[in-house]
Amino acid sequence: MSITENQIGAMIVEISGQEGLPIYKALKGKVDVNEFLLAEKLKLTINQVRNILYRLESHNLLTSNRKKDRKKGWYIYFWTFLEDRAERAYITLKRTRIQMLQTRIDRERTNQFYICMNKCTRANVETAMENQFMCVECGQLMVPDDNTKTINRIQGEINELTTEVEKLESERPKIEIEEEEEKPIKKEGKGPIKPKAPPKVKSHKSPDKKRPGKRR
């Protein structure tokens, strides 16, 4: 695995916030950690712990087993952090971020924006026209915004993330990448119901009777 510990930590924070880091560290290198003991150790409520665990699970970073408590009668979940999936989840997260930034930079390049002279608000030309190019916050005149710096900043982040993702992917075994290639998605549910063929009707013909012979 070529992903670093710092990259994993940054991913955990991005997914679950700073409060997710202690949970990740408590799970790292262990198997089937009791969620109640985890909450007790970190001095958090069980709902707080579960909320973070579910976020990490949604990115395929955790697996769980449940067992019924014989005394109390409820189910307890035991959690394991999947280190072998961390790099894949990290790359997926960064790809999503790149797509979001690309959408934003396209919007910046294809629209004219206006900004309040006091920098209270920023709006596209349609919204600015509706308000007669006056700021809805302070009433000051709105002027065309030069978004060159914004575009350059976004493009710089896109380039940085793209380089990082390409480096990680180049270091991964080819077989892992092939396993992740999209497979045809099977649609859930049954397909169209084919009409049943009509049942075969048995013939009710009376048995052939022998013709009487000619009388001599």
Dump pLDDT digits (tens) for 16-30: 999 999 999 999 999
67 and 127 in a common domain:
no
Who's near 194: CB < 8 A, 6+ residues apart? none
Do the domain assignments include residue 198? no
74 and 111 in a common domain:
no
Give pLDDT, residue 12.
97
Domain final residue pick, 174, 190, 210? 174
- What stretches in the chain show pLDDT beneath 70? 1, 173-216
Domain final residue pick, 81, 97, 125? 81
C-alpha angle with apex 16: 22 to 81, nearest 5 degrees?
60
How far, in Å, CA of 157 to CA of 121, rounded?
A: 24
Do the domain assignments include residue 215? no
Do the domain assignments include residue 185? no
Give pLDDT, residue 68.
85
117 and 44 in a common domain:
no
Structural domain boundaries enclosing 166: 88-174
42 and 92 in a common domain:
no
C-alpha angle with apex 86: 85 to 88, nearest 5 degrees?
65
Check which CATH number belongs to the domain holding 22 and give it.
Answer: 1.10.10.10
Instruction: Look at the chain and report how many structural domains it folds into.
Output: 2
Dump pLDDT digits (tens) for 145-175: 999 999 999 999 999 999 999 999 988 765 4
The phi, psi pair for 143, rounded to 5°, reads -120, 160
How far, in Å, CA of 12 to CA of 21, rounded?
A: 6
Give pLDDT, residue 197.
47
- Pairing state between β 75-81 and 33-34: antiparallel
- pTM more than 0.75: no
Give pLDDT, residue 63.
96
Do the domain assignments include residue 209? no
Tokens of residue 186, six digits: 């099977």
Neighbours of 31 (CB within 10 A): 11
Task: Provide the phi-psi class of 82: left if phi over 0, else alpha when psi is between -120 and 50, else beta.
Answer: beta
